[in-house]
A and B are shown apart, each in its own frame.
Chain A
Amino acid sequence: MSVSEPNTAFLWTIPALPLLPLLVAAVLAVYEPKDRRKASLWAIGALGTVFAFSLLALIGLASKGAGRMVLNFTWFEFGSTSLRLGWVLDPLSGIMLVMITFVGTLIFIFSTGYMSEDGNYRKFFCYLSLFAAAMLGLVISNNLLMLFICWELVGLASYLLIGFWYHKPEAAAAAKKAFITTRIGDLGLFLGMLWLYSETGTLLFYDGGNGCLEQSALSAMVAKSTLLGMTVSTAVSLLIFCGAIGKSGQVPLHVWLPDAMEGPTPVSALIHAATMVAAGVFLMARVYPLISIAPEGVAVSGGLQVMAWVGAATALFGSLVAIGQFDIKRILAYSTVAQLGYMFMGLAVGGVAVGMFHLITHAFFKALLFLGAGSVIHGCHHEQDIRKMGGLRKRMLITYVTYAVGMVSLAGLPGFAGFWSKDEILHSAWSWPVSTWPFWIGLFGAFLTAFYMTRQMAYVFFGDYRGGENEPHESPINMWAPLAILAASSCLIGLAGTPFIPLFQSFLDQAPVHNHWHWSVLGFWIVSMSVVAAGLATGWWFYGVETPKRSTDPDELEARFPKAFGLFAARLHVDEFYRDSVLRLPGWLSGVAAWLDRKVFAAAVGAGAYAVLILAWLSRFADEYLVNPGFDKGCAETRRGARFLARLQNGQVQEYLRVIGAALALFILVLAMGNK
């Protein structure tokens, strides 16, 4: 893959993409428009414009067949050391740009309805724009440092938006949890970055052969080995993967993501489903050359193996826990955790195109599901418990239809987006040389996915309404229109990556399009279709045939397998486990610190205060009887000295000139002494 030269002049305009939303965020931060709709209008306008330009850039990239265009510049330089930043436009960043801006614009529009009654409307759009700017900056960075800065900025935006309703204690706690948990992963990323810099001397990804992801740097890193016989490249990429684990909610750092659902639903859709949590997957796709390189004779690098197992474990874990949840958004959140696991698994077993394809399709249908959930919540007067819903099929028809599209996409019904992308992951997992276990786990996860989505559909849309007096209502057009658009694109986006004409994959891999169809594919289809059908059927048998009548009825699964269900509902006790293990030490330490503070330091400070009092008394005594007379004398001397200095600058030119003469004599003396 070569750096193509032709017509790179327009690359200068690429930074405008993140800068435009940033500008809107800055303006909204200081200026309050009289008509508050203006705030959303600016934000939507900016992101919409960026979408148009991203689309142009992507089309330009695709039509030229140009592989990768980079533009690096020196930010700071001293002597031979220089810090260079840059941005990159390649299929990977191009696709991400279009996805983020497209989904983002729709979610912005949805927010105008969802947040219409919120008092902090302007602030909400300010934060959203800040997030969009940081996310776009992350995607176009050609430097790990710049990427890291944007990475932290999206983390900040996420923190601000999860805690948007900070008056709710749960929201404030969730924001803190998200910030701190991801920070643990970021520590790994930061260390990895430092290590990478010390090994290669650059943080630029691509730099005409000198970048840290290019051949010379990679082969140097793979040749060196370090701790436990790992190659340096594997060690560095695993540290970077830590950051991705935190950001993308993978086991064991997944605990923040479900709690993040305390934020407004558009935020969950944009940040915690479609874009930010996928940034971890994007990061690993970006540094794929680093993580995938293996020494001679090793088929699969250590980094990829770890990634595959983490992904598979997360996919299983998320799907299991999702079964036992009653909060409509938490089900989706655990589903997101699981799907992100699929993405990592896809990256590890099948390469960039496989993982990224699932990222893109997932972004569409998960944003759709979250917005649909938002529409449901809005319609049900901010009720999130699925036991208190039901029968919404008739009352919210558009939401129902679009939600159903999202659900079958996620479950992986043939023809819909999730089918194509998930099937490709499973297909690649089958032929993974290390183990076929990820394949079986993935297959089981697919069954669970179909099951819990059916359960949710049955609870929310079928049967009778269990919510009491307040009748639910359909959402306004500015909320259902984005749903409809997303539903349509969820159906269509999958067609870009079918095995027949794998446009998406060949664009990402820069390979000519050729038909991947093989009769073995049909075998996989049959297997996965029957698994999905089994999941749907089981779900329907449990929940659909006979829907619960009252909101207090026990769950069907709970009635049959109370132990297992209790475990899922309690999220396999991971939070409690952390509370009792990892968090014990800081808790104990803070107790010690508090005790020290209250007893030891307070006593010391008190003693100090008394000592100061005594000193003060002594000093007052000394002052009045000893110092004051001396000070007066000193002042008089200083004044006399000042008068002398003032005479130096008294406006008398003759004096000034005399000083030059004096300086001449003085300097000659200085040099004469110095030269000895």
Chain B
Amino acid sequence: MDYGLIFLTLSPEFVLAVAAMAVMGLDLTVLKGTSRIYRMTAAAGVMAIGIFTAILLLQYYVKDASFPLGMLVQNPLNLLVKKVILFVALTIGLLATEVRFTRNVGEYYALLMLATIGMMLLVSTENLLLLFVALELTSLSLYVLAGYNERSRESAEAGMKYFLFGGMSAAFLLFGFSYLYGLGGTLDLGSLGLALSAHAADPLLSVALILVVIGFGFKLAAVPFHFWAPDTYQGAPIASTMLIGSASKVAGGYAFLKLLLIGFGAGGWSGSGETITGWAPLLALIAVLSMVFGNLAALAQTSVRRLLGYSAVAHAGYLLLGFFGSESDAYHSVVFYLTVYALTTVGAFGVIAAVQGKGRDLTLRDFAGFSRKSPEMALCLLVFILSLAGIPPLAGFAGKFYLFAAALKSDPGHMGMLAAVSIGVVMSAVSLYYYLQLLKQVFVADPIGPVLRVKAGFLGRSMILLLAFCVITLGCAPGIFLDLITGAVISVSR
């Protein structure tokens, strides 16, 4: 085995790991005793340098490669998704400087980067064992981050719930993997797909599939594995919520798609009509449940973060619809949607972070009169929220459009997908109600008591503006990003 090549391929991850160690080391030695803002800025700076280097390495240095047993696969599509994850992590890290939620600055950034490394590995492996390890590396970092605010009971509770729920589903996932290994006799997804087609009718395969779906359903917060989401979104420190709600979704969703398309055979749905693995009806059920439950439950929420938590459940449902497209459509729509969703979510939480500081949980009513105090942040919030609701010309519309279209195209003759997409469309209309409730408070309602003030400084504001710009651009000209995906997908499809 060529170790030099391994190092080359993993150099971005390696750089991040070094940066993580450096942040921790610096924080414990040189910066000890200095003011928190100073430490925060320094740590964010090191993180930014690390991520920038990693992005540059991905862009110019890392070559396509594939290692035995699918341990590590570096292809243009994986690279693209990794870059998206890195960019999202970077914005989160920079936005976090505005929140000042903890004294343990170094560890926060170190954990952020470790989670990012986990996500990058998750994206680039096609091996069951490494998939699990990468998933755990991500999850363990996120558990700690969710309970990071040691002086807040809610944060501790959020972390605990997330951990217990995650641990449980990880156990299911591992159990499922063991069945898969038992059936296929290999850990490599590619050969697993071939091997499993011989066991199409095996009930054990169905059980294994369900176990795997539970494991990833937890990551995506799809019904009925969503219970952690509202509590964690609400209770965890907002800097952690952003990561859990965006980058982690990107990595998890993409890995899940690859697992299904490669491991369970792309023909599972669209090919012969005979569903060899039967993941389609299962996923359709989960998608519909998520869209219905997430949107209906969000209607009753008063806490903004909890509302976004339920909206995340609904979005997991939309996302799963994209899985039914043909291989190329599925990659296109899912990668595009995940990117758009991550940017939008970080932006929406970024605005909340910018006004919240380290303060209490915000209700809808707290936002009354917000636009009069800070029109530009209110406008950004409008962009993010309308994008989540899927209003053209914002990116969320394009994303949802591609998902629905991919699902519809996969199954022109049958009514099943049409029904699922119709539910999606109807539920989008329902979601508009609670999204507009928030915007109504922001733009229309008269303030009661003191109006929210933006506490974030120049850096935070400019990150939010940048994200809003991205959301508008991707909405008006989705072609810019789709061309990148198309180029990558063409080189990947086998």
Q: Which residues of A contact B435 (CB under 8 A)?
A: none
Residue of B nearest to A667 (CB): B210
Chain B proximity mask over A641-661: 1 for CB below 8 Å, otherwise 0:
000000011010100110110
Stretch at the interface among B14-22, B261-269, B454-462, B476-484: B476-484
Q: Give B383-409 interface residues, CB cut-off 8 Å to A.
A: 402, 405, 409
**Distance from B163 Cβ to chain A, minimum over Cβ atoms (Å):** 9
**17 A–B contact pairs at CB < 8 A?**
A73-B479, A77-B478, A77-B479, A78-B405, A82-B479, A651-B231, A653-B164, A659-B227, A660-B214, A662-B224, A663-B224, A663-B225, A667-B210, A667-B282, A668-B206, A670-B285, A671-B209
Residue of B nearest to A84 (CB): B479
Task: Judge whether A76 and B282 touch: CB under 8 Å.
Answer: no
Q: Which residues of A contact B329 (CB under 8 A)?
A: 79
A76 touching B165 in the complex, CB below 8 Å, given contacts A659-B224, A671-B206, A671-B282: no
CA A75 to CA B479, docked complex, whole Å:
5
CA A78 to CA B281, docked complex, whole Å:
25
Q: Is B82 an interface residue (CB 8 A)?
A: no
Task: Judge whether B161 and A668 touch: CB under 8 Å.
Answer: no
**Distance from B294 Cβ to chain A, minimum over Cβ atoms (Å):** 12
Task: Judge whether B227 and A649 touch: CB under 8 Å.
Answer: yes
Among A648, A656, A667, point to the contact of B228 (Cβ < 8 A): A656
Instruction: Label chain A's interface by main secondary structure.
Output: helix
Q: Which residues of B contact A662 (CB under 8 A)?
A: 224
Q: Which residues of A contact B206 (CB under 8 A)?
A: 668, 671-672, 675
CA A664 to CA B409, docked complex, whole Å:
30
CA A670 to CA B160, docked complex, whole Å:
31
Chain B proximity mask over A274-297: 1 for CB below 8 Å, otherwise 0:
000000000000000000000000
Residue of A nearest to B477 (CB): A75
A674 touching B479 in the complex, CB below 8 Å, given contacts A660-B168, A660-B214: no
Task: Judge whether B160 and A74 touch: CB under 8 Å.
Answer: no
Task: Judge whether A660 and B169 touch: CB under 8 Å.
Answer: yes
Q: Is B213 an interface residue (CB 8 A)?
A: yes
Q: Give A469-512 interface residues, CB cut-off 8 Å to B.
A: none
CA A151 to CA B29, docked complex, whole Å:
66
Number of interface residues of A (CB under 8 A): 26
Q: Which residues of B contact A664 (CB under 8 A)?
A: 172, 210-211, 214
Q: Is B322 an interface residue (CB 8 A)?
A: no
**Distance from A146 Cβ to chain B, minimum over Cβ atoms (Å):** 13
Among A657, A667, A671, point to the contact of B165 (Cβ < 8 A): A657
**Distance from B223 Cβ to chain A, minimum over Cβ atoms (Å):** 9
CA A674 to CA B409, docked complex, whole Å:
23
Query: Which one of A648, A659, A660, A675 has the highest number of Cβ atoms from chain B below 10 Å of its Cβ?
Result: A660
Q: Which residues of B contact A648 (CB under 8 A)?
A: 227
Not counting A77-B482, A651-B231, A671-B282, a sample of 16 additional A-B residue pairs whose C-beta atoms are within 8 angstroms of each other reads: A77-B479, A77-B483, A82-B479, A653-B160, A653-B165, A656-B161, A656-B164, A657-B165, A660-B169, A660-B214, A663-B214, A663-B225, A670-B281, A674-B278, A675-B201, A675-B278
CA A649 to CA B231, docked complex, whole Å:
9
Q: Which residues of B contact A671 (CB under 8 A)?
A: 206, 209-210, 278, 281-282
Residue of B nearest to A650 (CB): B227
**Distance from B378 Cβ to chain A, minimum over Cβ atoms (Å):** 15
Residue of A nearest to B225 (CB): A660
Among B157, B165, B230, point to the contact of A649 (Cβ < 8 A): B230
Task: Judge whether A79 and B203 touch: CB under 8 Å.
Answer: no
CA A651 to CA B483, docked complex, whole Å:
45
List of 8 A-B pairs having minimum Cβ-Cβ separation, nearest first:
A74-B479, A656-B227, A671-B206, A667-B210, A663-B224, A653-B164, A674-B281, A657-B168
**Distance from A30 Cβ to chain B, minimum over Cβ atoms (Å):** 11
CA A672 to CA B201, docked complex, whole Å:
11
Task: Judge whether B225 and A670 touch: CB under 8 Å.
Answer: no
A-B contact count (CB 8 A): 77
Q: Which residues of A contact B207 (CB under 8 A)?
A: 668
Task: Judge whether A78 and B210 touch: CB under 8 Å.
Answer: no
**Distance from A534 Cβ to chain B, minimum over Cβ atoms (Å):** 59
Task: Judge whether B478 and A76 touch: CB under 8 Å.
Answer: yes
Q: Give B228-248 interface residues, CB cut-off 8 Å to A.
A: 228, 230-231
Residue of B nearest to A673 (CB): B281
Chain A proximity mask over B140-180: 1 for CB below 8 Å, otherwise 0:
00000000000000000100110011001100100000000
CA A659 to CA B218, docked complex, whole Å:
12
Chain B proximity mask over A9-32: 1 for CB below 8 Å, otherwise 0:
000000000000000000000000
Residue of A nearest to B409 (CB): A79
Q: Is B486 an interface residue (CB 8 A)?
A: yes
CA A421 to CA B85, docked complex, whole Å:
62
Task: Judge whether B285 and A76 touch: CB under 8 Å.
Answer: no
Chain B proximity mask over A47-84: 1 for CB below 8 Å, otherwise 0:
00000000000000000000000000111111100100
Residue of B nearest to A654 (CB): B164
Q: Which residues of B contact A657 (CB under 8 A)?
A: 164-165, 168
Among A76, A77, A660, A668, point to the contact of B486 (Cβ < 8 A): A77
Number of interface residues of B (CB under 8 A): 37
Task: Judge whether A670 and B282 touch: CB under 8 Å.
Answer: yes
**Distance from B82 Cβ to chain A, minimum over Cβ atoms (Å):** 23
Residue of A nearest to B168 (CB): A657
CA A664 to CA B483, docked complex, whole Å:
40
Q: Which residues of B contact A77 (CB under 8 A)?
A: 478-479, 482-483, 486
Q: Which residues of A contact B402 (CB under 8 A)?
A: 78
CA A330 to CA B312, docked complex, whole Å:
64
Q: Which residues of A contact B169 (CB under 8 A)?
A: 660
Query: Which one of A79, A664, A670 has the highest number of Cβ atoms from chain B below 10 Å of its Cβ?
Result: A79
Q: Give B195-212 interface residues, CB cut-off 8 Å to A.
A: 201, 203, 206-207, 209-211
Q: Which residues of A contact B405 (CB under 8 A)?
A: 78-79
CA A583 to CA B24, docked complex, whole Å:
82
CA A557 to CA B407, docked complex, whole Å:
76
Q: Give B260-300 interface residues, CB cut-off 8 Å to A.
A: 278, 281-282, 285
Task: Judge whether A660 and B172 touch: CB under 8 Å.
Answer: yes
Chain B proximity mask over A69-113: 1 for CB below 8 Å, otherwise 0:
000011111110010000000000000000000000000000000
**Distance from A533 Cβ to chain B, minimum over Cβ atoms (Å):** 59
**Distance from B383 Cβ to chain A, minimum over Cβ atoms (Å):** 16
**Distance from B147 Cβ to chain A, minimum over Cβ atoms (Å):** 13
Residue of A nearest to B210 (CB): A667
**Distance from A631 Cβ to chain B, minimum over Cβ atoms (Å):** 20
Q: Give A178-205 interface residues, CB cut-off 8 Å to B.
A: none
**Distance from B298 Cβ to chain A, minimum over Cβ atoms (Å):** 12
CA A651 to CA B234, docked complex, whole Å:
12
CA A668 to CA B172, docked complex, whole Å:
14
**Distance from A659 Cβ to chain B, minimum over Cβ atoms (Å):** 5
Q: Which residues of B contact A653 (CB under 8 A)?
A: 160-161, 164-165
Q: Which residues of A contact B168 (CB under 8 A)?
A: 657, 660
CA A651 to CA B228, docked complex, whole Å:
9
Residue of B nearest to A674 (CB): B281
CA A325 to CA B227, docked complex, whole Å:
81
CA A353 to CA B386, docked complex, whole Å:
50
Q: Which residues of B contact A672 (CB under 8 A)?
A: 203, 206
Q: Give A602-653 interface residues, CB cut-off 8 Å to B.
A: 648-649, 651, 653
CA A90 to CA B463, docked complex, whole Å:
40
**Distance from B317 Cβ to chain A, minimum over Cβ atoms (Å):** 15
Residue of A nearest to B398 (CB): A76
**Distance from A599 Cβ to chain B, minimum over Cβ atoms (Å):** 39
Residue of A nearest to B401 (CB): A78
**Distance from B76 Cβ to chain A, minimum over Cβ atoms (Å):** 18
Q: Which residues of B contact A670 (CB under 8 A)?
A: 281-282, 285
Q: Which residues of B contact A675 (CB under 8 A)?
A: 201, 206, 278
CA A662 to CA B223, docked complex, whole Å:
12
Q: Which residues of A contact B477 (CB under 8 A)?
A: 75
Residue of B nearest to A663 (CB): B224
CA A664 to CA B486, docked complex, whole Å:
37
CA A246 to CA B405, docked complex, whole Å:
39
Q: Which residues of A contact B482 (CB under 8 A)?
A: 74, 77
Q: Which residues of A contact B227 (CB under 8 A)?
A: 648-649, 656, 659
Q: Which residues of A contact B224 (CB under 8 A)?
A: 659-660, 662-663
